[in-house]
Structure 1
């Protein structure tokens, strides 16, 4: 999860919206609320993209609650069965749940930050083995046979968020290369996979 200025995935993660509450009056920006009032008033709520909410929050203009995608309810579901949670739907269609959570954690105070980072890490650790197994399975199956899409592995695959989908693709490619190497006669196997 690199935080590269030019990374398209980081840009997409930073565009998720947060419900922000203004801590003071802001003259001249009332049009952002879509109303006829020319100002944003203290305690006014507004949906802002994370990149703007972060800056305003760090400068103490706004505050925002932890988004529902990182709530205690989601944490409990992840603790019960991490692979059964559809992370792809939690922060928008096929979203970047880990990246967005990491970016939110950067803004939080110590204790909430630690709790959120621990939740992200635990979810990743618990979801990685099924992800690897599924990638290995897909790498070893015949690509000409259509997938049924009804198994628990397919439900997990459909629920993967952006970073998990990238890891899944890497796992598939690696599995295919190993299969090609393994199927070569012993004397013709190169010492390195390319």
Structure 2
């Protein structure tokens, strides 16, 4: 999970919208509201991309509540059954739930920041074994047969967010390479 300036994934993670409340009057930025007024007034609520909301919040122009994908409701669902939560649906477009959460944590104060980071870490560690098992299963599966299963694993796979999908692909590729090595004469020689 890099924050490289040129990373398209980082750009996509920073482009999610946040509902922000302005803490003071700001002359000349009324166009952000989409209205005809020239100024933004204190307590005005405007939805804007995170990259802009972050800058304005760090400079104390705006505040924002924790976005719904990181709410107590989601936290409770993750604590109950992390594998059943469709993280891809929470941030839209099979987005980057972990990346965006980490970026939001950078803006928060100490206690809410630590709570959010802990939630992200617990979700990742609770979902990783299922991700690993599923990628190993798919690496060794016979893909010439049609898939008719609607198992829990397939539901989990549909709900994976961007970083999890990348890890899934890496796990599948590693599993295929290990299987190919084992199936070769060299692999069998070393295993015996």
Tell me the TM-score normalized by structure 1. 0.95
Would you tell me which structure has more helix in proportion to its own residues? 2
Segments of structure 2 that go 5 or more residues without pairing to the other structure are none
How large is the Cα RMSD of the aligned pairs?
1.6
Residue pairs, 1:98-177, within 5 angstroms: 98-177=98-177
Structure 1 residues 149 and 10: CA distance shift in structure 2, 3 A: farther
User: SS of the counterpart of 1:6?
Assistant: coil
Match of 1:51 in 2: 51
User: SS of the counterpart of 1:21?
Assistant: strand
- Contact 1:87/1:97 (CA < 8 Å) preserved in 2? yes
Alignment length (residue pairs): 191
Segments of structure 1 that go 5 or more residues without pairing to the other structure are none
1:178 Cα shift?
0.5
Match of 2:82 in 1: 82
Distance 1:49 1:149 in 2: 39
Greater Cα shift, 23-32 or 99-108: 23-32
Match of 1:183 in 2: 183
Structure 1 residues 2 and 187: CA distance shift in structure 2, 3 A: closer
1:147 Cα shift?
1.9
Greater Cα shift, 25-34 or 95-104: 25-34
